[in-house]
Structure 1
Amino acid sequence: MGSLSIWHWLIVIVLAMLLFGGRGKLSGLMGDAAKGIKAFREGLKGEDEDKGTSDGAASLPRADAEKDDLKR
């Protein structure tokens, strides 16, 4: 009951072949994941810069009457 059956060994072998078999599949997967994380961070950085430059009401044009109210 404590030993592994043939099905357990086959699953382990198949997983090992998928991860480590052929032209560095594991390193390729990790490289793709790193590129995705980098693109995600750059996207977040771009959103922060966009939010910081435009402040909604501050960037809207104002009528002369609104400008006079603000001066008071």
Structure 2
Amino acid sequence: MLNNIGLPGLLLIAVIVLVLFGKGKVSSLMGEVGKGITAFKKGVKDSAEELEKSSADAARDVTPPPSDKDKV
């Protein structure tokens, strides 16, 4: 069903949404969507950096701790 919408169908849906909700409401809604996308991208970037940092820290410390036998 959704495969045959096309450009005229999308334009018709956009006009209906604009008429129903008004220019101000649609504009504020799109602003909130933009803020949400920005926050999502920032969260993904921060988590990727955190994973890289933790894996780098784990890779640095590869030497085993000294045992009691080494102290003699």
TM-score interval, smaller chain: 0.5 to 0.7
Unaligned runs of 5+ in 2: 1-7
Larger helix fraction of residues: 2
Which aligned segments of 4 or more residues in structure 1 are displaced greater than 6 angstroms? Answer: 62-65
TM-superposed CA distance for 1:15, in Å, is 4.6
Give the unaligned 5+ runs of structure 1: 1-6, 68-72
Distance of 1:28 and 1:15 partners within structure 2: 17
Give the structure, 1 or 2, with the largest relative contact order (CA under 8 Å, sep 6 or more).
2
Is 1:12 the counterpart of 2:14 in the alignment?
Answer: yes
Equivalent in the alignment of 2:42: 38
- Give the CA deviation at 1:63: 6.4
User: What TM-score comes out, normalization by structure 1 length?
Assistant: 0.56
Q: Whose radius of gyration is greater, 1 or 2?
A: 1
Identity %: 10
Question: Among residues 27, 31, 53, which one is paired with 1:27 in the alignment?
Answer: 31
